[in-house]
Amino acid sequence: MATTTAARPAPAPRRPTYVNRRQVRRNTLLGWTFILPNFAGFALLTLVPVVATFGLAFTRWNAFGTPEFTGLTNLQRLVGDENFRVALGNTVYYTVGHVPLTMAASLGLALALNRKIRGLAFFRTAAFFPYITSIVAVAVVWNMLYNPTRGPINQLLTTIGISDPPGWTSDPTWAMPAVILTGVWKDMGYYMILFLAGLQTIPPELYEAAKTDGANAWQRFRNVTLPCLRPTTFFVLIMLTIGSFKVFDLIVVMTNGGPGRSTLVLSQLIYREGIVNGQFGYSSAVALALFVLVLVITLLQYARNQRLEK
Amino acid sequence: MTTVVGPRTGTTAPVPAGTPAPDRRRAHAVRPWAKPLSYVLLTALSALLLVPFAWMVSSSLKTNDQVFTVPVQWVPRELHWENFVDIWTRVPMLTYLRNTTFLATVITVLQLFTGSFAAYGFSKIRFPGRDGLFLAYIATIAVPWQAYMIPQYILMQKAGLVNTFTALILLQAFSAFGVFLMRQYYMSVPDELVEAARIDGLSEFGIYRRIMLPLSVPALASLGLLTFVNTWNDFMGPFIYLTSNDLWTVQLGLRQFVGQFDAEYAMIMTGSVLSVLPILVVFLLGQRYFIQGIATSGLKG
Amino acid sequence: MKRRILQGLAAATAGALLLGACSSGGGDAAAAAETLDPDAPVTLTVSVWNLEGTPEFRALFDAYEAAHPNVTIEPVDILADDYPTKLTAMMAGGDTTDVLTMKSVMDYSKFATAGQLADVTDVVEGVPDLAGLDAYDQDGAYYAVPYRQDFWVTFYNKGIFDAVGEEYPSSDLTWDEYVDLAETITEKAAAAGVTPAEGSTTYGTHTHTWRSVVDAIAAAQTGGDQLGSEGYGFLEPYYEHALQLQDAGATLDYSTASTQKISYRTMFTTGQAAMLPMGTWFISALLQAEAAGETDVEWGIAPMPQEKATDEAVTFGAPTAFAVNKNAENVAAARDFAAFAAGEEGARAVAAIGVVPALQSDAITEAYFALEGMPTDEVSQAAFQPGEIVLEMPVGPTTAQVEQILTEEHQNIMTGAVPLDEALATMAERVENEVG
ipTM of the modeled complex:
0.85
- Contacting residues of C for B73, CB less than 8 Å apart: 199
- The most distant pair of C-alpha atoms in chain A lies apart, rounded to whole Å, by 79
pLDDT at A13 over 70: no
Region A2-24 average pLDDT: 54
pLDDT of A276 reads: 85
- Quote the CA–CA distance of B286 and A132 in Å, as a whole number: 15
Kindly determine whether residue B127 and residue A49, on different chains, have CB atoms separated by under 8 Å: no
The reply to whether A86 falls in a domain is yes
Taken in order of first residue, the domains within chain C and their CATH numbers are: 24-150+317-385 (3.40.190.10), 152-316+392-434 (3.40.190.10)
pLDDT of C199 reads: 65
pLDDT of B21 reads: 41
Provide the CA A74 distance to its chain's centre, in angstroms.
27
- Contacting residues of A for B73, CB less than 8 Å apart: none
The reply to whether A247 falls in a domain is yes
- Quote the CA–CA distance of B68 and B53 in Å, as a whole number: 15
pLDDT of A95 reads: 96
Q: Judging by DSSP bridges, how do beta strands C299-302 and C145-157 pair with one another?
A: antiparallel
Q: Hey, of B67, B70, B82, B247, which one would you mutate to test binding to chain C, going by the most C CBs within 10 A of its CB?
A: B70
**C78, amino acid identity:** I
Dihedral angle, C-alpha C17, C20, C23, C24, nearest 10 °: -130
B259, C53 contact by CB (below 8 A): yes
Directed axis angle between helix B145-158 and helix C83-92, to 10°? 50
Burial of B294 (0-12, 13-18, 19+ CB in 10 A): middle
Region A27-41 average pLDDT: 90
Region A76-105 average pLDDT: 93
Number of CB atoms found within 10 A of residue C138's CB: 16
CATH number at residue A120: 1.10.3720.10
Count of residues in chain B: 301
| Of the partner residues B71, B142, B279, the one whose CB lies closest to the CB of residue A294 | B142
Domain count along chain A: 1
Mean pLDDT score of chain C, rounded to an integer?
A: 86
> How many Å is the Cα radius of gyration of chain B?
25
Measured in angstroms, the CA of A70 and the nearest CA of chain C are apart by 9
Its domain, for residue A132, covers 77-309
Q: What is the DSSP string of C148-201?
A: EEEEEEEEEEHHHHHHHT-PPP-TT-BHHHHHHHHHHHHHHHHHHT--SSTT--
Element (H, E) at C49: strand C42-49
Q: What is the DSSP string of A245-293?
A: HT--HHHHHHTTT-STTTT--HHHHHHIIIIIT--HHHHHHHHHHHHHH
Question: pLDDT per residue over C112-133, tens digit each?
Answer: 988 899 999 998 888 877 888 8
The CATH number of the structural domain formed by B83-300 is 1.10.3720.10
C210, C264 contact by CB (below 8 A): no
Directed axis angle between helix A18-42 and helix B93-124, to 10°? 170
B12, B29 contact by CB (below 8 A): yes
DSSP C325: B
Geometric angle at alpha carbon A34, from A31 and A37, rounded to 5°: 135
pLDDT of A7 reads: 41
- Quote the CA–CA distance of A73 and B185 in Å, as a whole number: 44
pLDDT of C10 reads: 44
Burial of C229 (0-12, 13-18, 19+ CB in 10 A): exposed
Element (H, E) at C73: strand C71-78
A228 touches chain B (CB under 8 A): yes
pLDDT of B19 reads: 40
- Quote the CA–CA distance of A288 and A295 in Å, as a whole number: 10
Per cent of chain A over pLDDT 90 is: 36
The model's pTM is 0.86
- Contacting residues of B for C285, CB less than 8 Å apart: 261-262
- Quote the CA–CA distance of A172 and A262 in Å, as a whole number: 5
Burial of B178 (0-12, 13-18, 19+ CB in 10 A): buried
For chain B, the distance separating the N- and C-terminal CA atoms, rounded to the nearest angstrom, is: 46
A82 touches chain C (CB under 8 A): yes
The reply to whether A296 falls in a domain is yes
Measured in angstroms, the CA of B136 and the nearest CA of chain C are apart by 19
pLDDT of C289 reads: 87
Q: What is the DSSP string of C200-265?
A: ---EEE---S-THHHHHHHHHHH---TT-BTBSGGGHHHHHHHHHHHHTTSS--HHHHHHTT--HH
If we measure between CA atoms, which residue out of B153, B121, B150 comes closest to residue B137? B121
Confidence bin at C9 (pLDDT 50/70/90): very low
pLDDT tens per residue across all 301 residues of chain B: 333 333 333 333 333 333 444 444 444 445 677 778 888 888 888 888 898 888 889 988 988 777 777 677 788 888 889 889 888 988 899 999 999 999 999 999 999 999 999 999 999 888 888 888 888 888 888 898 889 989 999 998 888 888 999 999 998 888 889 999 999 889 888 888 888 999 988 888 999 998 899 888 889 999 999 999 999 988 888 998 998 888 999 988 888 888 766 778 888 889 999 999 999 999 988 888 877 655 554 443 3
Region A110-132 average pLDDT: 88
In this structure, of A20-34, A198-212, B157-171, B257-271, the range with the lowest mean pLDDT score is B257-271
Question: pLDDT per residue over C39-75, tens digit each?
Answer: 788 999 999 998 888 889 999 999 999 999 999 999 9
Count of residues in chain A: 310
Kindly determine whether residue A69 and residue C7, on different chains, have CB atoms separated by under 8 Å: yes
DSSP A229: T
In this structure, of A114-128, C4-18, C153-167, C170-184, the range with the lowest mean pLDDT score is C4-18
pLDDT at A248 over 80: yes
A131, A210 contact by CB (below 8 A): no
Q: Hey, of C2, C106, C255, C422, which one would you mutate to test binding to chain A, going by the most A CBs within 10 A of its CB?
A: C255
Confidence bin at C201 (pLDDT 50/70/90): confident
Dihedral angle, C-alpha A131, A134, A140, A141, nearest 10 °: -50
Measured in angstroms, the CA of A55 and the nearest CA of chain C are apart by 5
- Contacting residues of A for C11, CB less than 8 Å apart: 69
**Peptide bond before residue A259 is cis, with ω within 30 degrees of 0:** yes
B157, C94 contact by CB (below 8 A): yes
The reply to whether A139 falls in a domain is yes
Helices (H), C248-377: 254-259, 264-269, 281-291, 331-342, 344-351, 362-369
Domain with CATH 1.10.3720.10 in chain B: 83-300
pLDDT of A5 reads: 39
DSSP A161: T
pLDDT of C2 reads: 44
Which residues have CB under 8 Å from C142's CB, separation 6+? C119, C120, C121, C123, C124, C133, C136
Beta bridge mates, C150:
C318
pLDDT of C198 reads: 62
CA separation, residue A41 to residues B39, B167, B176, B177, C93 (Å): 46, 11, 10, 13, 21
CA separation, residue A295 to residues A21, A45, B47, B223, C247 (Å): 32, 20, 39, 24, 48
Element (H, E) at B96: helix B93-124
